[in-house]
Amino acid sequence: MKITRRAGLLAATSAILALGLSACGSTSTTEPKSSDSAGSSFTPVSIENIYGETEITEKPEKVATISWANADAVLALGTVPVGMDIDAYGQNANNSTDWKDAKLEELGAPIGSENAPVQYKIGDDLDYTGIAASKPDVIFAPYSGLTKEQYEKLQEIAPVVGPIKPNYTTSWEETTEAAGQMLGKAEEADALVKKIEGELAQVGEDNKALKDTTFIAADLSAPDAAYVYSEGDTRPRFLSALGMTQADYVQKNAEKDTFFFTVSPEKVNEWDSDIVFASALAGNSVEDIVKAQPLYGQIPAVKNKALALPGDDQATLAISAASPLSIEWALEHVVPKIVTAAENAAAAK
């Protein structure tokens, strides 16, 4: 399935296909300072991607990132990108996210400061001019929908760590591990992944209602079509990490080589699942969703008060395009809603 850049951006976040799903810009050339030590040793690495492999023989001092989650991974390992995409979905006043802003502040490079990364505009294609102007040593894009043509054009600027999996399906763990290899921080990246995986697993241990609970990850933004996410998407992987099990319904209906499938509102009553975790238009409540499409009220989880809504668009982004930084934020702001839905489902059995 081929997905355009803009389509991939939306698909990886809200997936409001009926409203336009089908998925960088500052002119400053200020170079942010990395928190890494320039004198540290570096072992050359080769990082594979769907278009080939990237050889990195020297530790990169200036890293440009494409796609918000890739910037998060680099930041989580203590390196400030020389340039990065704006967050065009779920963004705050800085065209960023609260978790990214917190890390930039910690690293002494808040947006608007002298050390801040250049922010590229997002469109149907890349901001090649902006990326080139940042003079990167390497371009980091393992979680992305880069086409081969875009990948090859970027290689004219600098070596590219391209998509490890196609169409925004690279996991946050793979992205973090690739960042660690690129920066000469493989052990630190592995430790970070294990830490966050442990925190997710601990939520399951601390909330027994999650054990043996089945889920469907969906989008209910459009009244004329619902969307269900399958195993290739970040949302099911996140929910599984909390100790829940994806409902059999998904495996039975998922389409090959896609990360979502469409469901007619007349058939959502077939969603045999304890809970449903569903994105919606920002600010929508369960009542709003059912008012816009009464058939959504027939979802078993809705009847059992077990429909978990992440909240605003930023909360949706935190799960749909998960990163080491966004997961830490989601543990506080989103996961409690999932736990409540699971508890309601258990009470209804």
Whole-angstrom distance, CA of residue 258 vs CA of residue 11: 11
User: What's the pLDDT score for residue 40?
Assistant: 57
Among candidates 323, 313, 316, 311, which has minimal Cα distance to 285? 311
User: What's the pLDDT score for residue 255?
Assistant: 83
Asked if residue 47 has pLDDT above 80, the reply is yes
Q: Report the pLDDT averaged over residues 204-211.
A: 95
User: What's the pLDDT score for residue 256?
Assistant: 81
Asked if residue 9 has pLDDT above 50, the reply is no
CB 220 within 8 A of CB 278: yes
Asked if residue 154 has pLDDT above 80, the reply is yes
Asked if residue 19 has pLDDT above 80, the reply is no
Q: Read off the pLDDT band of 11 (50, 70, 90).
A: very low
Comparing 36-45, 149-158, 275-284, the range with the smallest average pLDDT is 36-45
The string of pLDDT tens digits covering residues 289-312 is 999 999 999 999 999 999 999 999
Antiparallel, parallel or unpaired: β 225-229 and 214-222:
antiparallel
Distances (CA, A) of 199 to 170, 176, 243: 21, 16, 12
Say which DSSP state 254 is in.
P
Asked if residue 284 has pLDDT above 50, the reply is yes
Q: Read off the pLDDT band of 36 (50, 70, 90).
A: very low
User: What's the pLDDT score for residue 232?
Assistant: 82
Among candidates 161, 150, 191, which has minimal Cα distance to 173? 191
Query: What does 114-144 look like in DSSP terms, one character per residue?
Result: TTPPEEE--SSS--HHHHHHT--SEEE-SSS
User: What's the pLDDT score for residue 258?
Assistant: 82
